[in-house]
Amino acid sequence: MRASQVFIVFITLALAIPFGITYDPSPLQDFCVANKNLNNGVFVNGKFCKDPKQVKAEDFFYSGLNVAGDTNNDVKSNVTTVNVENLPGLNTMGISLVRIDYAPYGQNPPHTHPRGTEILVLIEGTLYVGFVSSNQDNNRLFTKILHPGDVFVFPIGMIHFQVNIGKTPAVAFAGLSSQNAGVITIANTVFGSKPPINPEFLAQAFQLDANIVKDLEAKFASNN
């Protein structure tokens, strides 16, 4: 290898290693089960650990993901989340899980997870899924039609969605690379903020009539 190649390899490693360890903290012990009793007044980047001697199997256990969420809502879908909030053993582990139910022609509307990449497996039904890349990548749309057993990845931070294009209910499960991946639903966030963003500003941003923005804001204010 020439000196310049060695230098490039060195720089690549030097840049990659810190990026690789900057997400959910890597455990410095076997586990750090979230302590639910210490939730007032003091904040840490994550949750406090329960005394390991008090930790039980229940701390690593969740039950109920066999039950469909109620899809009787405007978007006809329901996400059941298993993360550090309801499974304390996930604390510091950098992983979580969701079940998503879709009524026929229901959808999980455009949203993004600020802290997690998502890997989804379809169990039942037919989904049209996709994500849009960032401005730097020219906002390209990547889509696929999924059938049972198909898997799709939504890279961290990308706006993505799933639509049930079948006549029957659909069920998917997805893993996320964070104990607390977060969700930003685009329509609710932009049109349903409290207080609302000035409708004139959004009219210009979205190239819409201000009255349409006001209608949207009224709708999402009541939905949220």
The annotated binding site for oxalate is made up of 108, 113, 118
Q: Which is nearer to ligand NAG, 78 or 179 (CB)?
A: 78
Closest distance between ligand NAG and the C-beta of residue 80, in Å?
Answer: 7
Pick out residues in 106-165 that bind ligand NAG (CB under 6 A): none
Q: Which is nearer to ligand NAG, 184 or 210 (CB)?
A: 184
Helices and strands (H and E) in the chain: how many: 4, 10
Cα maximum dimension of the chain? 64
Closest distance between ligand NAG and the C-beta of residue 8, in Å?
Answer: 49
Residue identified by tokens 């109920």 is 64
Closest distance between ligand NAG and the C-beta of residue 75, in Å?
Answer: 8
Binding residues: 108, 111, 113, 118, 160
Six token digits for residue 45? 């980047």
The site for ligand NAG, by CB under 6 A, has a size of 4
Closest distance between ligand NAG and the C-beta of residue 204, in Å?
Answer: 31
- Residue 135: count of CB within 10 angstroms of its CB: 7
Residues 86-119 as b or e (16 or more Cβ within 10 Å = b): ebbbbbbbbebbbbbbbbeebbbebbbbebbbbe
Question: How far apart, in whole angstroms, are the C-alpha atoms of residue 53 and residue 49?
Answer: 11
Binding residues for Mn(2+): 111, 113, 118, 160
Question: How far apart, in whole angstroms, are the C-alpha atoms of residue 41 and residue 109?
Answer: 35
- Are 50 and 84 a contacting pair, CB within 8 Å? no
Pick out residues in 59-88 that bind ligand NAG (CB under 6 A): 69-70, 73, 78
Q: Which is nearer to ligand NAG, 78 or 178 (CB)?
A: 78
Closest distance between ligand NAG and the C-beta of residue 224, in Å?
Answer: 11
Residues that bind ligand NAG (CB under 6 A): 69-70, 73, 78
